[in-house]
Amino acid sequence: MKKSSLLFALMSMLLLILAACSSGSPSGGSGEKVDDGKLIVGWSQMENNNPWRIAETESIREEAKKRGIQMVYSDAQGDTAKQLSDVEDMVAQGVDYIILAPREFEGLAPALTAAKNAKIPVILVDRKAKGTPGEDYVTFLGSDFIKQGQRAAKWLIEEKNGKGNIVELTGTSGSSVAMDRHKGFADTIKDNAPEMKIIASQNGDFARANGQKVMENLLQSNGDEIDIVYAHNDEMAIGAINAIKSAGKVPGKDIIVVSVDGTKDGLQAIIDGEIGATVESTPFFGPQVFDVIGSLENGEDVPTEIIMEDRFFDKNNAKEFVNEAY
């Protein structure tokens, strides 16, 4: 009895060890790489808490599924330190490629270095990270964020005849997209509309709730001086609209709102007369990013920057595109 009991215990322990060794799942975001001949691609998302990010994640994951490519997925939940750890974990797992949407321009150099040392190509999407393209990462796929700010400013100058006080709701501090959208907008206003002034600029971190809170503060401190809101994305613009309404003002009349993204809610707000215009910033990177991976697999050179073509939405075309927006 004692021998059989000992044998049973040993067999049970062996089964537990085997189960633990086989528990990793390439699509689940953790565990060791499973080498069955298929490509395994790491996808490091900075956060997944708004319509734009959700659409981006779905685009990449759906395209991987369509092409039979396994994925290791991680969500940094808006934490740069966690994203650094996520990427380093993917390197340790030995994925074949890493797709990275950097939360901040600075802060991810150790992750890029780890991937480079492991000879794992990194493809940046929608935001840039500090490094040399073609060396620290293969390529960047995204929009021309400076041009987005320029287009928003040009529409506004024409709409307001070059006059008015502007408050700016900026995106994540330290992100390339926030810096560029500010630069493109501010430089265009400065060079072309000397009677327009940015009287305040505050960080809303690309979030609707933060946009509303920041706008409430700006309305309290600047009151009737505000003629225009320039928001770095539609989510903050909609938050600002809620604050404007709560203050007893009419968005689109008392205060003009211009934004970037082209979400369904943003286009609907244009139809409702609450947002004047929004510059598209496409989140649908899936086909293009896996075309890049396909080219790399074939030994082909790829450009170090691939700029997406973005549309412009206002009252003239918002109804045409609202049903296809995310």
| Mean pLDDT of all residues belonging to the chain | 90
Cα dist from 294 to 109, 145, 156, 167, 309, whole Å: 25, 26, 41, 44, 21
Is the pLDDT higher at 4 or at 270? 270
Tokens of 168: 């700016």
Q: What's the pLDDT band for 151 if we cut at 50, 70, 90?
A: very high
Q: What phi-psi label fits residue 78: left (phi over 0), alpha (psi between -120 and 50 degrees) or beta?
A: left
Count H helices, E strands: the chain?
11, 12
SS3 assignment, position 265: helix
User: Structure pTM?
Assistant: 0.84
pLDDT at residue number 36: 57
Query: Does residue 181 carry a pLDDT above 80?
Result: yes
Query: Does residue 8 carry a pLDDT above 60?
Result: no
Query: How many beta carbons lie within 10 A of that of residue 218, not counting itself?
Result: 22
pLDDT at residue number 223: 84
Contacts of 266 (CB under 8 A, 6+ apart): 234, 237, 238, 259, 275, 278, 313, 325
Arithmetic mean of pLDDT, 68-72? 97
| pLDDT tens for each residue of 23-40 | 333 443 333 444 556 899
Smallest CA-to-CA distance from 116 within 142, 93, 134 is with 134
pLDDT at residue number 37: 67
| pLDDT tens for each residue of 84-102 | 999 999 999 999 999 999 9
| pLDDT tens for each residue of 218-268 | 999 998 999 999 999 999 999 999 999 999 999 999 999 999 999 999 999
Question: Sign of torsion, CA 183 184 185 190?
Answer: positive
- Domains, the chain, with CATH or none: 23-141+284-308 (3.40.50.2300), 145-281 (3.40.50.2300)
